Every structure is written in C-alpha cells, then in structure tokens.
C-alpha cells in the first residue's frame, strides 16, 4: 500500500520567500507529525495533529512556521520569510491512534534557503 | 519520556551479527523501548519495540535486560543495506505524542 508521501522532494528558495511543504499521510491514519532534521542530527519535533487539530505545536521554532490539516488528511507546513537557518530536511510521519502507535515516515522535503 | 544513550558509531562485517546497545537507566514501568533506523536520504523506519520480554521479527531481535535499564538490537546477519543510523527511543506505547530522537548509532556494514 501507499506510504507517507511528501512533496516536493527538494525545494530551493531565496531568503525572505514563502514556502509550502505538503504531506499525504497513510490513508486512515488520524495522527500526523512534522519533524525537522539538520545535517548530522536526529529529527526534531515540530508539530503534531490529531485529526484536524494541532494537539501539540510546542516544537515550532517561531511564528514564521505554521501548519494546517483542514480535512484531517493532507497537511501543509508553511514557512514565511524564510531564513538560511531554515535549511533542513522536513519529515512528515503518520500513525494510527491505536496499539503501539508506530510512526511511519515519508522521505522528507529537503529545503535549501539561499 | 526517558533519555537514552547510544554509541556514536559501530562497524560490522557483512554476514555477521550486528549488536547495537542502548542504555535507558531512567525508564519507567510503562515505557517501551522502540528502535528506528534511517538509511541515507530516507525517512526513519520502524524496526521493533518491546516492554520487557525479548522480541523478534523479520528485521531484528530486541533483547531487554531484566532490570530494563538497557537493551540490545540484534541484526543477525548484517548486509550492506543495513548501513544506517539506528535510534533507540523510550516512550509509553499508548502515547501518541512526538518521538524524541537522539543522535543514534551510525552502523557501517563493510564487505
């Protein structure tokens, strides 16, 4: 079956621009997570959705970052006024709200801010 | 969630068993040990998890000490495709909250 899909796989933008990163979770998964991974580091949590609502957004670094999941499926991570320090791989994961709550990850979007 | 400690890197010859240790001395009674791995340019991949009994699946075995303060992930016959960063994470299984990743163990399997 289809896994977690993230688009685009690569995004190059200029400092100050606005970007949107998309995540299609596994069908039926109610929980959706965004992480950010810098070179040589483990993924760092950004935000977690349970259905349409953000259950925990404590990892968002500042108010330039925002995420939505309007219909409880696809999610979009939005970054305003991008800075060079935002360059990283942005990972999305989804899980069933049941059992061991295993998170399944997409391949990520590599964002480069020039 | 309890903190984990892993070696930074390990090497293993192809075909041999790879034994990856993890210390989690502050683990709570209801916390499970999860292992994920991340192959270069891919997202993390779930491997296995356990509470206190040893577990085995098609990918690996997980050995948890009796006091639950440490565990070992075993890849019985490592292949070159097992070269990856391996993360040990401790969390409550019913918790749908975030995963907290450390820097993991970089396993290099050589021919």
Does the structure show a pLDDT above 60 at B25?
A: yes
For the stretch A7-38, pLDDT in tens is: 999 999 999 999 999 999 999 999 999 999 99
Q: Sorting pLDDT into bands at 50, 70 and 90, what band is B97?
A: confident
Phi-psi sector, B21: left (phi>0), alpha (psi -120 to 50), beta: beta
pLDDT exceeds cutoff 60 at A1 = no
Q: What is the DSSP string of B60-91?
A: -EEEE-TTSSEEEEEETT--GGG-EEEEEEEE
**B 18-77 residues with CB < 8 A to A:** 32, 41-46, 49
Compute the nearest-CA separation of B13 from chain A (Å): 24
Q: Per residue in A55-64, pLDDT tens?
A: 999 999 999 9
Per-residue confidence (pLDDT) for residue A98, from 0 to 100: 67
Statement: residue B1 has pLDDT above 70: no
Mean pLDDT of B79-94: 92
Measured between beta carbons, the chain B residues lying within 8 angstroms of A45 are 98-100
Element at B108 (helix H, strand E): strand B105-110
Please, what is the Cα angle at A33 between B106 and B46, to 5 degrees?
40
Under an 8 A CB cutoff, do A43 and B95 touch? no
Residue A41: band (very low, low, confident or very high) from pLDDT cuts 50, 70, 90? very high
Which chain A residue has its CA at the smallest distance from B51's CA? A100
Q: Which two tokens stand for residue A52?
A: 């349409």
Interface contacts A/B by beta carbons within 8 Å:
61
pLDDT per residue over B40-77, tens digit each?
A: 999 999 999 999 989 999 999 999 999 999 999 999 99
pLDDT at residue B98 in the model? 87
pLDDT 10s digits, A49-102: 999 999 999 999 999 999 999 999 999 999 999 999 999 999 999 998 766 789
Q: CB contact, 8 Å: A27 with chain B?
A: no
Query: What is the percentage of chain B residues whose pLDDT exceeds 70?
Result: 97
A105 close to B (CB below 8 A): yes
């Amino acid at each position: 079956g289809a896994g977690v899909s993230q688009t685009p796989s690569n995004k190059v933008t200029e400092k100050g621009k606005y970007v949107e990163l998309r995540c299609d979770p596994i069908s039926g998964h109610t929980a959706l997570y965004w992480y950010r991974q810098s070179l040589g580091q483990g993924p760092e949590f950004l935000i977690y959705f349970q259905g349409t609502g953000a259950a925990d957004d404590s990892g968002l670094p500042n108010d330039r970052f925002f995420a939505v999941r309007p219909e409880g499926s696809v999610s979009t991570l939005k970054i305003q006024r991008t800075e060079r320090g935002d360059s990283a791989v942005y990972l999305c994961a989804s899980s069933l709200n049941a059992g061991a709550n295993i998170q399944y990850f997409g391949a990520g979007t590599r964002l480069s801010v020039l | 969630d309890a903190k984990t400690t892993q070696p930074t890197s390990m090497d293993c010859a192809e075909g041999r068993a790879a034994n990856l240790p993890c210390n989690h001395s502050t683990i709570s009674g209801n916390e499970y040990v999860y292992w994920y791995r991340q192959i270069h340019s891919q997202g993390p991949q779930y491997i296995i998890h356990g509470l206190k009994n040893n577990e085995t699946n098609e990918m690996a075995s997980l050995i948890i000490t009796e006091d639950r303060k440490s565990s070992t992930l075993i890849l019985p016959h490592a292949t070159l495709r097992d070269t990856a960063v391996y993360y040990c994470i401790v969390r409550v299984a019913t918790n749908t909250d975030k995963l907290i990743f450390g820097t993991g163990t970089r396993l290099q399997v050589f021919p």
